[in-house]
Amino acid sequence: MKTNFFFSKLLSVLLTLFGISIFVFVVLRVIPGDTITGTLGTDTGVLSPEQIDVLKQYYGIDKSLFGQYTSWMGSFLKGDLGFSFTTGLSVAKLTQSSLAVTAELAILGTVLGVIIGIAVGMFSARKPGSVRDFAGQLFGLLALAIPGFVLSTTIVAVMANKFHYFPNGLEYMTPWRNPWMNFQQMMFPALVLGIAVAAPVMRTTRSALLETVDKDFVRTAHGKGVPARRVQFKHVLRNSLIPIVTMTGIQFGYLLGGAVIVEKIFALPGMGRQVLDAINHREYATVQSSVMIFAILFVTINLVTDLIYRQIDPRIK
């Protein structure tokens, strides 16, 4: 049974990654322009056909679509992510630094979101239909309704114009180079992402708690005189964790690939910004390899979430 489960999961992951690779490959080539026009812009018009042919060979876009796909996938599977013609660096080297920025931002945003979401969800579920429940649901609604770019732009405008404070305008500092500056540069973008995560986590927590609180084992615990706070955390919250963990895993995977706008506004050199700049310059190798890395991370997070399920609820085994 365990072997069948493992192979079914592995097959599902491989098919998902294969489908994503084809999708991103096709979409990039549907967009008007190519690496030549993305790099040279209007200067492409002054090139002769011979010069264009030479550049196509140089950029590797002279082959058929099938040839380009097999060449890219063959190199990717060998660990060769390609080369960025704009920066003059390998995609692997670019990803090494940018992925660390995005991972740090996603982890901080998820931790903040989970703490806020569970706290507000528990606060709201304690007395459903009350004023506190209305306040909690209003928070979730507003957090879902306000776009991240609006909140990010507002924070930047207020902090820079009113308080003359914008640490992201300085050179980016890694945690090991300058921890305090790194914290200041990550604080506000992590808060923006954390609020976005907190809304679905809060709604999921509230629904899960309200569903669990009427179970027989909860009434039995109350009947035995177990303190209300202990019942709330040990019995109700613990047995409501599976949907919360599911939502947290989904949101963390989303943050890894969906922090493009936030990274751009707060001038963070992360993966999202790397992909956005590569799309503007039609750098196929950079975009394709970066998206595949996002996809691999996302499916890995889903697998880890499945393993966490088994630790939370032994019945799933």
Return the CATH number at 272.
1.10.3720.10
**Domain for residue 101, yes or no?**
yes
Q: How many domains does the chain have?
A: 2
Token pair of 90 as six digits: 């390998």
The SS3 assignment for 163 reads: coil
**Domain for residue 84, yes or no?**
no
**Domain for residue 122, yes or no?**
yes
User: Of the residues 55, 77, 99, which one is the last residue of a structural domain?
Assistant: 77
Q: Indicate the range of 18-27, 165-174, 237-246 predicted with least confidence.
A: 237-246
**Domain for residue 86, yes or no?**
no
CA torsion through residues 209, 210, 213, 214, sign: negative
pLDDT digits over 17-34, tens only? Answer: 889 889 888 888 877 766
In this structure, the answer to whether residues 67 and 211 fall within a common structural domain is no
Rg (Cα) of the chain, in Å, rounded? Answer: 24
Q: What's this model's pTM, rounded to 2 decimal places?
A: 0.79
**Domain for residue 302, yes or no?**
yes
In this structure, the answer to whether residues 119 and 268 fall within a common structural domain is yes
In this structure, the answer to whether residues 67 and 216 fall within a common structural domain is no
In this structure, the answer to whether residues 50 and 171 fall within a common structural domain is no
The full DSSP string for 113-137 is: HHHHHHHHHHHHHTSTTSHHHHHHH
Q: Indicate the range of 83-87, 110-114, 187-191, 307-311 predicted with least confidence.
A: 307-311
Token pair of 102 as six digits: 């995005």
Q: How confident is the model at residue 313 (pLDDT cuts 50, 70, 90)?
A: low
In this structure, the answer to whether residues 18 and 128 fall within a common structural domain is no
In this structure, the answer to whether residues 54 and 108 fall within a common structural domain is no
The full DSSP string for 219-234 is: HHHHHTT--HHHIIII
In this structure, the answer to whether residues 39 and 102 fall within a common structural domain is no
Whole-number Å distance between alpha carbons of 72 and 165: 44
**Domain for residue 189, yes or no?**
yes
- Is residue 21 within 8 A of residue 292, CB to CB? The reply is yes
In this structure, the answer to whether residues 136 and 246 fall within a common structural domain is yes
Domain range spanning residue 34?
Answer: 2-77
Query: Which residues lie below 8 Å from residue 120, measured CB to CB, with a gap of 6+?
Result: 136, 139, 140, 198, 202, 205
The full DSSP string for 250-264 is: HHHHHHHHH-HHHHH
Distances in Å between the alpha carbon of 188 and those of 104, 164, 276? 13, 15, 21
Whole-number Å distance between alpha carbons of 11 and 236: 36
Q: Which of 194, 176, 160, 189 is nearest to 268 (CA)?
A: 189
pLDDT digits over 207-227, tens only? Answer: 888 887 777 676 777 677 667
Whole-number Å distance between alpha carbons of 264 and 280: 13
In this structure, the answer to whether residues 144 and 267 fall within a common structural domain is yes
pLDDT of amino acid 81: 82
Question: What average pLDDT does this structure show over 66-70?
Answer: 85
**Domain for residue 83, yes or no?**
no
In this structure, the answer to whether residues 151 and 265 fall within a common structural domain is yes
- DSSP assigned state of 282: T
Mean pLDDT, the chain, as a whole number?
A: 81
State which H helix or E strand residue 112 sits in: helix 91-125
Distances in Å between the alpha carbon of 220 and those of 214, 217, 224, 227? 10, 5, 6, 12
User: Of the residues 27, 49, 77, which one is the last residue of a structural domain?
Assistant: 77
In this structure, the answer to whether residues 40 and 112 fall within a common structural domain is no
**Domain for residue 85, yes or no?**
no
The SS3 assignment for 48 reads: coil
Q: Which of 225, 221, 263, 251 is nearest to 238 (CA)?
A: 221
In this structure, the answer to whether residues 26 and 144 fall within a common structural domain is no
User: Of the residues 77, 110, 143, which one is the last residue of a structural domain?
Assistant: 77
Percent of the chain with pLDDT over 70: 86
